[in-house]
Amino acid sequence: MTQAAFSPADKDRWIKSACKMCLHGCGIRVNVRDGVILKIEGDPDNPNNMGKLCPKGHSGIMRHYDPNRIKTPIRRTNPNRGPGVDPGWEPVSWDEALDIVGRRLKKIRREDPRKLLVAINDFQRIHLWGWGAAFGTGHYFTTTGQFCGAAYHPINGIIDGAFASVNDYEHCNYWIQIGGGDGFSSHLHVAGSIKRMADARVDRGMKLVAVDPRMAAYCAKADEWIPILPGTDRAFILGMVHVMLHELNRYDAQFIKKHTNGPYLIAPGGRLFRCRETQKPMVWDGGDNMAKAYDDPTVGDFALEGRFVVDGAEVTPAFQLIKDALKDHTPERMSGICDVPAGTMRRIALEFVEAARIGSTVMIEGKQYPYRPAAINFYRGAIGHCQGTHDHSAIKLMNMLVGNIDVPGGHLGVGLDHRLLLIEPGPDGMIKPQPHILHPPAPFSCPPQTLQMMEFFPIGLDPAHLVAHNILHPEEWGYDFKPEAALIYHANPLKNINGYHKVLEVFRMLEFIVAIDILPNESTEWADIILPDHSYLESYMMTLCEPPVITGHTLRQPVVEPMYDTRDAHDILTDISHGCGCLDEFNGLLNFTMFLKPEYYLEPGRKHTAQECLDRMAKSIYGPEMGLDWFRQNSNAVRRQKPGEMYMPWDGMRISLYHEYFLQVAGELEEKFRSAGRQWDTSSYHPIPVWNDDHPLHRIPAEYDLYAINFKAEAVINHHENTTIPWINELVSNIPIHKGVLINTRTAREKGISTGDRISIESPFGKVEGLARVIEEIHPRVIGISNAIARWTMHPVERKMNVNFNRLLPASLEFTDLVSGHQETAVKVRISKI
Amino acid sequence: MTGQTVPMADEEFVMGFRKQNVWTKWIALAFFFGKVGSGMFILAVLLNTPLIALAGLAIENVGKGGSLIIHLGRPERFWRAVSRPQSSWISRTVWVMGVFTLIALLYLAMPQGSPAWQFFKVLALIGGVAVAITDGFIMNDSPAIPLWNTPMLPFLFLLYSLLGGTSVFFFLVYGGWVGVTPLIDLETLETVLIIINLMGVAIYLASLANATATARESLRLLLRGQYSTMFYGFVVAIGFILTLALTLFLGASGGALVVGLITLADLIGHFFIFYLLLLVGVYAPVTGKLTI
Amino acid sequence: MARFGMVVDLKRCVGCNACTLACKAENGTPPGIFFTKVLEQLAGQYPIVKKKFIPVLCNHCLNAPCVRVCPSGATRKRDDGMVLVDYDQCIGCKACAVACPYKNRELLPQGKLRQGHFKGHLTPFEKVKYSKFQEGVVIKCTFCCDRVDQGLEPSCVNTCPAEARVFGDLHNPESKVSRLIRQRGGFQPMSEANTDPSVYYLE
């Protein structure tokens, strides 16, 4: 393929590109002098990060120049595989390597394509994630969905067509943050978000309340840190909702009446009460004292409360049902669960409703919007649990009660791409639920075809932690095949999937592993062949800058010639597809995943280069003049979102306050299971988020007396992978929270543990050992494990501390959210000094 | 916030006390040779033993000078150290050493008893004292380390210099290596100096007990922290208790072995007190705020 | 004459360490050496705990102890207030490192430049960057004097996502640094050391 031609005359140049040190892709400019990369800076002309760059972005140089990079295709010579076993790599030519891979995969594809496990995690090239579908296998042998949240994206999509969500940096005045690093250390475009958050905090005096078991960076910067037990955030929220509904009686009734299904009448059994003739949902008109269709223009007052009898049926507005369901969720009861004092819940609830300024409006660019400058923001810490759907819904409920969803100052939906594409009218006056933003749903099948059982999660997201169990116990759900090979592309299933011992057993079973990456990792150290990818400073990509605030794409382009005999991973997949006979399917997949317009469709039977595909993608999205050449000239097409894109893009449709949609999905699923003759628990499909005392996490026996959480290493680490970069390694080696297992002083004293002691940490599901680090800033009943101490790869820079949190986690259906597929990401443990 | 202990930060990215870690064994050795050398010289001049004076001078120049050069990151550039005597105590000590050496050599070269010899004898004695205490000013000149930033230090340097010189002489004389006119009773001098030094160290450390939190942290490291074993072992037990016990109960009458033991023990204590004072040099937290 | 200085807004800083690595990249400092870093300070007992992030770097003091104690004249102060080390003159006596109350100087030990970050392998980046250094001399933050001389901001200021670091002329009463110090009551680190740092903090 052609590479960018660099004129030798350009001895000292700055080249614009996009970062790939995490999934978000800030705009960068790279200084290259005499062919050597000397500096990476934020691109000041990119409205996304405005010239800012996080530490990971700067460290890209040392990843690019890592001498341990795979320099040519390599093949293992040592037939023995295992953790820490030297594969004895030997170089092999591209032709030979691709031939070996092609022949092997072709055979599998002919026999049964489901025998191939696919782990593709190149997080910026989302369009390649579905390669397995082109091959004919639907397995998802990696846990991307669990990093951010199976309980996160689908629920956002169901509520308001969003992919993610974040509070309005530019107008919010009272920001509650739970279990997430937005604006401080992680999540959406951290460099730009830190700036927007700092402006809000310091220039506008926004109040920040932080809820987290550990004093993360955002808690340190907050006006108030509220320590909480892991997996109980919903109790904290619902205690406050109780205060709003039953004590203060303050909420945005107008918003609920006009923009949600809160006034819809619910029939016994929980489903919508519909008009017998029109089948339209009914509401109760408080003025005329009668039931009317929801869209009847004569409705004077949508009743939210009360109990009515219509056509002999006892019906209740959805809002009343929610209120009833939370009547017993008193702060006192919730406090016993989450360990936040009831008084704190009452005070925060009051501060929240007052700061929300219910009833106020604001003019933005000539249009009047409701103004609700108080909102709760959250991320994986709050909802990464086996009842994550409820956790998420509870937070959305509290936001919705003050009418802050998608209004200035409030809680804004954020698209993966241009969000307006997903705002569509659904049935019953509602916005259409969009749970499948990453890929289409897998049609029901029993036995399931995918090892992660996607067929059983119609609105969920790939519970990949179930894969290993299902491989080892195929009889449980009737799998009639056994995987024999894996393709691992920029992924690390052995490190990232919980239930390590099961995953390890799967790795031992596999006969053939092909990997695509720039460095070997814990998983690809098991590979038979590794095909080396270009580094991100040598390759092309149309990098998505997902909002908040901004929207658009930035071009990633080579800033130097490839250092080694590497190829673009996209081209490698094209070659593999060609070799194993699924090129047409792959091209067809790309037409869909790269949003290609028909005139730019890839041709069957032809190998298109990555550059060519990206050119077509750019033209399809931005028009024929804005192909790759335009982006080479202009670097990015990132712009501020217009108010109409950010605020109430769904105006005229209602959003879901009462999740009747869940009941509908559950009903269909039950029916399918019934006809398949199997049982499936659908009780989690509950339209109202309530606290459930029967929570698997909290049911773990009391002998496991502490909770264990892990955390992304603030702004320093993305997933697991940056710890082999010497600069990052130096950083984390000097920062206390990344030097050991975090234990509160009081707890450590009780257990006779001091900083530096070797301790064992044991959960019912696994055991790890590590060094203790005694700190003040963590809940005494919680221990914290940083991602920076998790790895054991043979890479010489890695500290190999091997405190892999995932080994402590369960990996079973019992600990899976049966709606979203989210795994439990906290666990209970007991610790002792060794 | 109250009741908060300020941590020792070391290399971690933590706000707290920090130990200096760039002046260690070679500087300690330089100080050691500097004091013992100058002490020997002073005693030798007073006792009129020119050969020992020359030996003291040699220890001063080779021992201290050599240790300092080894300490340098760029030893080949050692001559640049003389550039800035107007503000740098390192420059000054090099100058003082040079001038002292010149004077001392002149003194040794002069015919004994001549007026010039008398004149240079006085100058050489002043030079010897100057050499002994200028090292103290090098440490004293670090306002950032409260432990060192006290006028007690140059004084301690002088005391240890005299004790060091006396100890060596004690050994040389009672070991039968050198004969001197018994102007003074070396045994008594040794005992008195040990007691004076002991009092000097005690007063110095006691004065820190009520000093800044940073100085107290130094004291804590020395008396209760990671260096306390070395302090109590080498400085207190060997340097003071053993030497005092031996001089008081056995003394010169114990023979060459005892005398040698006393001198060795004294020199061990001598080296370690200043070595440890270097190691426990502690800075205040960067912002100067112990708590937030 | 300008006096360059920096204001660090501790309210804005989120402790992300972008500055730490922007500095590593700009200056190419050898393994284990940071010209700037972010310290954390903790106070209190659970659940009433406070934690602050405090970026530190050479304070380029007006009354710099390191300049005073330097025996060779290698450490000098420019007219614009930057305190710099002339590697050709430094003898490595480390008196400056001891004298600095902030401990912002350290010796570049022998062998460090050959070792590099990948232990025995120098990357092309390191080969270029290490050619500026000398082993056996004391090194420290330069306020990115080469960048500043070209009219750019120091690298740490340039990257700071929170815009917690502001660089400018302390002598110009209308510069952003001067205004911030006035309006927000900027304080100098360890003012009791009487070094008159050119770095101010805002709380």
What is the residue type of B242? L
Average pLDDT, integer, range A213-234: 97
pLDDT at residue A9 above 60? no
- Compare all CA atoms of chain C with the CA of B77 and give the residue at the minimum distance: C91
Burial of B230 (0-12, 13-18, 19+ CB in 10 A): middle
Q: Could you give the C-alpha distances from B157 to A421, B54, B131, C94, in angstroms and in order? A: 81, 21, 10, 21
pLDDT at residue A7 above 70? no
Whether chain C has a CB inside 8 Å of the CB on A369: the answer is no
Q: Which of C40, C69, C201 sits opposite B90 (nearest CB)?
A: C69
Which chain C residues have a beta carbon less than 8 Å from that of A748?
Answer: none
Residue in A777, A797, A217, A19 with CA at minimum distance from that of residue C38? A217
Which of the four pLDDT bands, split at 50, 70 and 90, describes residue A437?
A: confident
Which chain C residues have a beta carbon less than 8 Å from that of B83?
Answer: 71-73
**Tokens (6 digits) for A219:** 């808690």
- Compare all CA atoms of chain A with the CA of C123 and give the residue at the minimum distance: A65
CB A192 within 8 A of CB A198: no
Residue in A56, A52, A31 with CA at minimum distance from that of residue A43? A52
Beta-bridge partner residues of A14: A31
CB C110 within 8 A of CB C136: yes
Cβ contact B286–C192 (<8 Å): no
Q: For residue B112, what pLDDT is reported?
A: 87
How far is residue B105's CA from residue B54's CA, in Å, rounded to a whole number?
8
Q: For residue A10, what pLDDT is reported?
A: 66
pLDDT in tens, A662-719: 999 999 999 999 999 999 999 999 999 999 999 999 999 999 999 999 998 678 888 7
Backbone torsions φ then ψ of C164, nearest 5 degrees: -80, -20
**Tokens (6 digits) for C100:** 């600095």
Residue in A16, A94, A12 with CA at minimum distance from that of residue A49? A16
How far is residue A10's CA from residue B34's CA, in Å, rounded to a whole number?
59
Which of the four pLDDT bands, split at 50, 70 and 90, describes residue A144?
A: low
pLDDT in tens, A521-556: 999 999 999 999 999 999 999 999 877 889 999 999
Give helix B256-279 / helix B186-209 axis angle, nearest 10°.
20
**Of all helices (H) and strands (E), which one includes residue C152?**
none
Whether chain C has a CB inside 8 Å of the CB on A704: the answer is no
**Tokens (6 digits) for C75:** 């450490």
Q: Which of B73, B83, B288 sits opposite C73 (nearest CB)?
A: B83
pLDDT in tens, A49-69: 999 999 999 999 999 999 999
Which of the four pLDDT bands, split at 50, 70 and 90, describes residue A145?
A: low
Backbone torsions φ then ψ of B155, nearest 5 degrees: -65, -45
Query: How big is chain C by its Cα radius of gyration, in Å?
Result: 17
Inter-chain CB pairs, A–C, below 8 Å: 164
Q: Could you give the C-alpha distances from A486 to A127, A707, B38, B185, C150, in angstroms and in order? A: 19, 34, 77, 90, 53
Beta-bridge partner residues of C23: none
Distance of CA A451 to the CA centre of its chain: 20
Among left, alpha and beta (phi > 0; psi -120 to 50; other), residue B113 is left
Q: Which of B4, B22, B288 sits opposite C189 (nearest CB)?
A: B288
pLDDT in tens, C151-202: 999 999 999 999 999 999 999 999 999 999 999 999 999 988 889 999 999 9
What 3-state DSSP class applies to C9?
A: strand
pLDDT in tens, C147-159: 999 999 999 999 9
Average pLDDT, integer, range A763-787: 96
Q: For residue B201, what pLDDT is reported?
A: 93
Residue in A78, A64, A136, A208 with CA at minimum distance from that of residue A487? A136
Percent of chain B topping pLDDT 70 = 97
How far is residue A729's CA from residue A628's CA, in Å, rounded to a whole number?
36
Name the average pLDDT for chain C.
95
Q: Which of A39, A195, A736 sits opposite C26 (nearest CB)?
A: A39
pLDDT at residue A5 above 50? no
Which of the four pLDDT bands, split at 50, 70 and 90, describes residue A2?
A: very low
**Tokens (6 digits) for A411:** 């809680």
Cβ contact C41–B80 (<8 Å): no
Alpha helices of C101-185 — where are they, by DSSP H? 112-115, 124-130, 145-149, 155-159, 176-184
Which chain A residues have a beta carbon less than 8 Å from that of B12?
Answer: 734-736, 739
Residue in B170, B160, B195, B182 with CA at minimum distance from that of residue B37? B160
Quote the minimal CA–CA distance from B86 to chain A in Å: 39
Inter-chain CB pairs, A–B, below 8 Å: 9
How far is residue A338's CA from residue B8's CA, in Å, rounded to a whole number?
35
Which chain A residues have a beta carbon less than 8 Å from that of C50?
Answer: 220
Whether chain B has a CB inside 8 Å of the CB on C56: the answer is yes
Residue in A48, A45, A11, A17 with CA at minimum distance from that of residue A30? A17
Whether chain A has a CB inside 8 Å of the CB on B11: the answer is yes
Q: Could you give the C-alpha distances from A145 to A120, A387, A437, A453, C116, in angstroms and in order? A: 12, 15, 12, 14, 38
Q: What is the DSSP string of A120-133?
A: E--TT-GGGTTHHH
Q: Which of A55, A227, A775 sits opposite C20 (nearest CB)?
A: A55
**Tokens (6 digits) for A758:** 């070797």
Which chain C residues have a beta carbon less than 8 Å from that of A195?
Answer: 161-163
Which of A 189-228 lie inside 8 A of C, CB atoms? 190-192, 194-195, 197-198, 201-202, 215, 217-221, 225, 227
pLDDT in tens, A724-735: 999 999 999 999
- Compare all CA atoms of chain C with the CA of A732 and give the residue at the minimum distance: C17
Q: For residue A1, what pLDDT is reported?
A: 37
Residue in A557, A147, A683, A162 with CA at minimum distance from that of residue A384? A147
Whether chain B has a CB inside 8 Å of the CB on C108: the answer is yes
For the entire predicted model, the pTM comes to 0.94
pLDDT at residue A3 above 60? no
Q: Which residues of chain B have pLDDT under 70?
A: 1-4, 181-184
10 Å Cβ neighbour count for C64? Answer: 24
Quote the minimal CA–CA distance from A51 to chain C in Å: 7
Average pLDDT, integer, range C93-116: 93
Residue in A632, A592, A634 with CA at minimum distance from that of residue A613? A592
- Compare all CA atoms of chain B with the CA of A731 and give the residue at the minimum distance: B13
Task: Beginning with the edge strand found earlier in the chain, give each strand of the sheet holding A313-317 in spatial order.
Answer: A265-266, A313-317, A308-310
Kindly tell me the sign of the dihedral angle through the C-alpha atoms of A50, A53, A58, A59.
negative
pLDDT in tens, A300-326: 999 999 999 999 999 999 999 999 999
DSSP 8-state code for residue C160:
-
The span from the first CA to the last CA of chain A, in angstroms, equals 56
Quote the minimal CA–CA distance from B39 to chain C in Å: 25
Name the average pLDDT for chain A.
94
Residue in A539, A544, A419 with CA at minimum distance from that of residue A27? A544
How far is residue B193's CA from residue B272's CA, in Å, rounded to a whole number?
17
